[in-house]
Structure 1
Amino acid sequence: MDLPLIAPMLATPGTLPPAGQDMRWAYETKQDGQRAVVYLPGDGSVLLRARSGEDITAAYPELRALGGILGTTAAVLDGEVLVLDEQGRGDFQLLQSRMGLARSPGKAARRADQAPAHLVLFDVMLLRDDLTGQRYARRRKALESLALDGPFWSTPAALVGHGEQALRATRENGLEGLVRKRLDSVYEPGVRSRSWVKIRNMRTADVIVGGWVPGKGRLSGLPGAVLVGQRDAGRLRYVGSVGTGWSEAERLELARLLRAAETGRCPFDSLPRAAEARWVLPRLVGEVRYSTRTRAGLLRQPSWLRLRPDLAPEDSAADLP
């Protein structure tokens, strides 16, 4: 059977709904992986396409067994490819060692032994017939009826209502957050829809500014990003580059403070990979928001919140792994 290509539906950033609307939504754990649309034509084969449409099947040889899992029943499924850490959580750094290997089957097979992939399934767009026009609740019931749980794939439960409790549980377990999906919504291929809303668990940290990178274009002469660190056993450990979160006035004030603190010496214990970096004395403390940390301790998706003139640089040693 020739299956139609279906672009994945995308979620918009947001928050929990008003309490009175809670039961109109299903809540799924937000996964930190590579989006994959799974095509099962019913002839024993399987095709995985990334969000870009690229064929990534060969990058994940352990998922080939999915081809025969539904027999001759044709299906198109939506999911996310993960590599799990010791706690069973998706680890994007581990996954990066698996991505981009579709044209290197030998290397993909070796990496599959070292860091096996796991496919989390959360929607079905075709099951014999096109289901994209059906409500989420009906599609979800169809997906769960397939009982797709195996050594390298699973169908985690979706919770109807109780969003606040679900979000708290993800936060307590160190997970990225939730995706809430309206029960009566249809599947909108390729659309970033308000019927799906992603809710991230964001953390905050106090950091020391140790350098900056000049901006481009209209930001010429101003900081495009600041390089930040935290104290660790008396050293200033680099934890990332922050390039968003300022108003125009805040960026101008930050530029003034950075120029006053200029130095020719990198203050971090190891030299960050940052072209055109300019160093400053490590005396400015700021507060940033971020989602998670990498295994190396770098902040993921950091955004500037505010300067902290009330804090001394020695106060920035917080939650380093």
Structure 2
Amino acid sequence: MTLPLIPPMLATPGTLPPAAQDARWAYETKQDGQRAVAYLAGDGTLLLRARSGEDITAAYPELRPLGEALGATSAVLDGEILALDEQGRANFQLLQSRMGLVHAPARAARMAARTPVHLVLFDVMHLAGHSLLKVPYSRRRGRLEELDLDGPHWSTPGALVGRGAQALEATREYGLEGLVCKRLDSLYEPGVRSRAWIKIRHMHSEDVIVGGWLPGKGRIAGLPGSLLVGQFSPDGRLRYIGGVGTGWSEAERTELAGLLRAGATDGCPFDPVPHVAGAHWVQPRLVGEVRYSVRTRSGLLRQPAWQRLRPDLMPEDSAAHLPDDA
């Protein structure tokens, strides 16, 4: 059977629905992984496509048995591929060791034994030859759960209807990435970033020291495209913790450009020196505040966004210090 190519529906960043509308929404845990659409042809085969449409099946050989899970019934399923840490939480850094192995099947097989992935399924868009795109989410979710897809490397976690505030607090308490809110009457909109799905990501906020920058391109040529930031280690070294490339208005970017030019230096203030091609170094005098989702095992910030300059703080007086476990 030839299955239709269905780009995944996307969620819009936002906040919890109003309390008066809470019962009209379902809440699912937001997972930090790789979005994937699974195509089960009903002949035992499985095809996995990334959000870009790329065929990524060969990178995850442990998921191939999913193709046999529904027997002769064909299906197109929406989900997220995760790599789990020792606590059973999604760890994107672990997953990165698995991504990109589409053209290296032997290595993918070795990595599957060392760092197996888990596919979380949360929607069904096509089933047994029939499109479900125009079927409301609540009914699609019911059909998905009836399939009872629960295997060694895949599962269908439940969704909570109503009680969004409690669900959001629970994800925060357990250190999960966040929450996805889905309107019960929402249709599946392929490739659309829809307000019928809202994603809420828990973010952390910390002070950082600016030690360098990379120039922007295109309309922001000559201005900073990203800032290279760090924090002090217990022994007083300024450790590089990542590049921040979003969060400024045009006026703020222009202001930063002037401050960076004034603080230019030939020597890198980070110890050790990060491998960042084309970097311009500055004296570590500017303190800023950034938001981010999580830290990687090596201490780098994931998904950082600039919040504001902190001219009220000197580097030595700021809270820009690495946590004890970084």
Normalised by the shorter chain, which TM-score bucket? over 0.9
Q: Conserved in 2, the CA contact under 8 Å of 1:61 and 1:112?
A: yes
In structure 2, the gaps of 5 or more residues are none
- The TM-score with structure 2 as length reference comes to 0.94
Could you tell me how far apart the structure 2 residues matched to 1:250 and 1:5 are? 42
What is aligned with 1:171?
172
Q: Give yes or no for the alignment of 1:36 onto 2:40.
A: no
What is aligned with 1:148?
149
Q: 2:321 aligns with which of 314, 317, 320?
A: 317
Q: Give yes or no for the alignment of 1:132 onto 2:133.
A: yes
Shift of 1:105: 1.5
Letter in 1 for 2:182: K
| Ranges of 4+ aligned residues in structure 1 off by more than 4 Å | none
| CA gap 1:103/1:214 in 2 versus in 1, 3 angstroms | closer
Q: Conserved in 2, the CA contact under 8 Å of 1:205 and 1:318?
A: no
What is aligned with 1:98?
98
Shift of 1:251: 2.2
Letter in 1 for 2:266: G
| CA gap 1:208/1:133 in 2 versus in 1, 3 angstroms | same
Q: Give yes or no for the alignment of 1:201 onto 2:202.
A: yes
Shift of 1:61: 1.0
Aligned to 2:301, the other structure's residue is in SS state: coil
Q: How does 1:239-254 map to 2 (within 5 A)?
A: 239-254=241-256
1:148-180 Cα deviation digits (max 9, x unpaired): 111101111111111122112212222211111
Shift of 1:318: 4.8
The aligned length equals 321
| CA gap 1:7/1:205 in 2 versus in 1, 3 angstroms | same
What is aligned with 2:64?
64
What is aligned with 2:20?
20
Q: Give yes or no for the alignment of 1:264 onto 2:273.
A: no
What is aligned with 2:120?
120
Could you tell me how far apart the structure 1 residues matched to 2:53 and 2:264 are? 46
Could you tell me how far apart the structure 2 residues matched to 1:216 and 1:45 are? 44
Letter in 1 for 2:65: A
Quote the RMSD (CA, aligned, Å): 1.5
1:107-161 Cα deviation digits (max 9, x unpaired): 1111101110110000011221221111100111111112211110111111111
Q: Conserved in 2, the CA contact under 8 Å of 1:206 and 1:318?
A: no
Could you tell me how far apart the structure 1 residues matched to 2:17 and 2:258 are? 41
Letter in 2 for 1:212: W
Could you tell me how far apart the structure 2 residues matched to 1:46 and 1:195 are? 29
- The TM-score with structure 1 as length reference comes to 0.95
